[in-house]
Amino acid sequence: MQRFVLGAAATAAVVTAAVALSPGRAEACGVVAFGAGNLSANLDGDKEPRSLPIAILGAGYSSEGFAGSVHVGWAWGETQTGGLFPGTSLRRVLLGIRTPFDLGADSGNSARVVDGMTTSTSASRHQLSLTYGWFDNSFFDLGLDLGVAGTTERLGPTAAFTLGGKGVDLRFTGGVQFGEHDTRFAGAAELVLDVMALARRF
């Protein structure tokens, strides 16, 4: 009987302590309570919506030789400050053009031979593209853009993968372009500068 009384008393003491140290009562007593809600807030950080124009300048080697490129568009998403994975996550639409640096050498009424076929003048060497993609810089700059690209003579699907940091990235582009008389690969490896990232807009 004595053991039963002691056990009941101990159980009552434990229940009383648990109630006394519940989050509300603990804070009232000056004790900091680390609940699941606080932990989730610390991991998620503060998020705010983001919407801004995008401008990307690039230069590198392409299937047309050494070339420069410009991509402009619009991006939207959110920026997280603090938390476990701070950074910006965006979706974006980009319109781009890539032009060989030696374009002037082929200007006028000149023609050139590609894969054994004579093609038209330098106007066909401008690569235009329209893509939709994703970008995230929580750990490093990481982007993937999918869409279409082509010239006045060819058109086809294209994909671009971007990897880097702080707005200075490497971009690898590849795709297939279908023409009236032939099909060819079109790609590039470029060093690109994300103007808005360099300006610390995100």
Kindly state whether residue 39 falls inside one of the protein's structural domains: no
Statement to judge: residues 156 and 60 lie in one domain: yes
CB-facing half-sphere around the CA of 67: CA atoms within 13 A: 23
Full-model pTM: 0.71
CA 177 to CA 157: how far, in whole Å?
7
Statement to judge: residues 16 and 50 lie in one domain: no
Kindly state whether residue 137 falls inside one of the protein's structural domains: yes
Statement to judge: residues 87 and 146 lie in one domain: yes
Kindly state whether residue 125 falls inside one of the protein's structural domains: yes
Q: Note the pLDDT of residue 121.
A: 46
Statement to judge: residues 74 and 138 lie in one domain: yes
Statement to judge: residues 4 and 103 lie in one domain: no
Answer for the pair 68, 96: CB distance below 8 angstroms, yes or no. no
Kindly state whether residue 96 falls inside one of the protein's structural domains: yes
pLDDT lower than 70: segments of the chain: 1-43, 103-124
Statement to judge: residues 102 and 140 lie in one domain: yes
Kindly state whether residue 41 falls inside one of the protein's structural domains: no
Q: Note the pLDDT of residue 159.
A: 98
Kindly state whether residue 75 falls inside one of the protein's structural domains: yes
Q: Note the pLDDT of residue 103.
A: 62
Statement to judge: residues 108 and 178 lie in one domain: yes
Beta bridge partners of 96: 71, 129
CA 79 to CA 114: how far, in whole Å?
46
Kindly state whether residue 38 falls inside one of the protein's structural domains: no
Kindly state whether residue 190 falls inside one of the protein's structural domains: yes
Token readout for 127 is: 């690569």
Question: By residue range, what is the domain housing residue 83?
Answer: 46-198
CA 35 to CA 174: how far, in whole Å?
49
**Alpha helices per DSSP H over 36-175:** 36-44
* Tally of domains within the chain: 2
Statement to judge: residues 55 and 13 lie in one domain: no
Handedness of CA 156, 144, 195, 89 (dihedral sign): positive
Q: Note the pLDDT of residue 200.
A: 87
| Closest to 64 measured CA to CA, from 5, 123, 6, 134 | 123
Angle at 175 between CA 55 and CA 144, to 5 degrees: 45
Q: Note the pLDDT of residue 39.
A: 52
